[in-house]
Amino acid sequence: MLNLGRRYILPSKHIAIFLSMLLGLCCVSQGQTPDIQISNGIVQATIHPPDPVNGFYRGTRFDWSGIIGSLRYAGHNYYAPWFTKTDPNVVDYIYRGPDIVAGPASAITGPAEEFSTNEEGLGFSEARSGGTFLKIGVGVLRKPDDAKYSMFRRYGIVDHGKWSVASKRVSVTFTQRVMDPASGYGYLYEKTVRLIAGKPQMVIEHRLTNIGKRAIATSVYDHNFLVLDQQGVGPDFGISLPFTIHPAKPIKTELGAVNGNTITYLKKLEGHDQFGVAIKGFGKTADDYKITIENKHAGAGMTITGDQPLESEELWSIRSILAMEPFIHMSIEPGKNFSWKYTYDYYTPGK
């Protein structure tokens, strides 16, 4: 059994094959791993720690660290499951009667992050069938055949690396060290979720250090699964950005609209409705990494600010979830590191 005190270290490669077998047998569930609670007296957050056996999330798509199950401020809860059930046989998500059923790759909550290189895992395209590649925040994965990479596929975990988690009253820091001699890639990943004293503010700080022999080129995006007070997605929500939005693809005009720097909903999303916007119009500086989302019925909102330039940005939403997805890019030579930060300001309009 893992030691889940204020600091613990997950086991490494010597049990990786066993854990990979477990991954293939079980579905994503809330498990039995104790959650981590942090609070600054204004904001309270529940965080699911990484655990390959009993963790809340055990898929091979998203980063296992910093999974926020709930965040409460001024009587509002910003994050919760956007799905009602899970099923290991579901690829992404499906509708089954009144339920939204998520598969292991997508059954996650909060500001979840995914790393990808040309929409693949790091080193996937050059790995032979049976070889290995990396998914940052997950570990070393097995390429089972010559099929095209899919973020929704469950790949076997060869080595999830060495994880450590250190929690304090207002913060929790995750560290993962992964080396893959077969591919030549390796990294040290550090991520801290911190509540700022005296403010309704959360900061997520990252540092990725290249400890391998090969350069790391990757993108990362924050999925931002917003489930504000379980409010359905519709006209009560408004989104604003600091630049004039130019949709890169046609949008469903019966569901929503883009006007200047705002995105609005024209009807409540129901059934299988899906509204998205592929966003263009941002510049080359970090000034455009700013997203404000407000719900006038709930009387709550938030602003997300990043400290790096946008590579791309999208909106994805269905009836239970509104998700703004900002992407950034990084290139890291061996021995070098790259740092980035997201700041979340939660507010109630007029306060």
**Residues 79-105: tens digit of each pLDDT:** 999 999 999 999 999 999 999 999 999
pLDDT at position 18? 35
Whether residue 274 contacts residue 319, with contact meaning beta carbons closer than 8 Å, is answered with no
* Top-confidence residue, 326 or 9: 326
* pLDDT tens-digit map of 208-240: 999 999 999 999 999 999 999 999 999 999 999
Position 1 pLDDT exceeds 50: no
* Average pLDDT of the chain, as a whole number: 92
Position 135 pLDDT exceeds 70: yes
pLDDT at position 32? 52
Closest of 330, 127, 92 to residue 223, by C-alpha: 92
Would you place residue 268 in the very low, low, confident or very high pLDDT band (cuts 50, 70, 90)? very high
pLDDT at position 21? 33
pLDDT at position 20? 37
The mean pLDDT value for 36-53 works out to 97
Question: Helix, strand, or coil here: 350?
Answer: coil
Question: Helix, strand, or coil here: 158?
Answer: strand
pLDDT at position 349? 84
Nearby residues of 173 by Cβ (< 8 Å), 6 or more positions away:
165, 166, 167, 190, 191, 192
Would you place residue 56 in the very low, low, confident or very high pLDDT band (cuts 50, 70, 90)? very high
* pLDDT tens-digit map of 7-28: 445 444 433 333 333 333 333 3
pLDDT at position 33? 81
The mean pLDDT value for 63-83 works out to 98
Whether residue 36 contacts residue 66, with contact meaning beta carbons closer than 8 Å, is answered with no
User: For residues 107 and 69, what is the distance between their CA atoms, to the nearest angstrom?
Assistant: 11
The mean pLDDT value for 154-170 works out to 97
Nearby residues of 6 by Cβ (< 8 Å), 6 or more positions away:
166, 167, 168
Q: Strands, DSSP E only, in 223-299?
A: 225-226, 237-240, 246-247, 256-259, 262-265, 275-280, 290-295
Rg (CA), the chain: 20
- Enter the tokens of residue 79: 């994050």
pLDDT at position 3? 37
CA angle, 315 as apex, 152 and 100 as ends, to 5°?
Answer: 50
Position 350 pLDDT exceeds 80: no
Q: What percent of the chain has pLDDT over 90?
A: 89
pLDDT at position 351? 57
Would you place residue 142 in the very low, low, confident or very high pLDDT band (cuts 50, 70, 90)? very high
Neighbours of 168 (CB within 10 A): 13
The predicted model scores a pTM of: 0.90
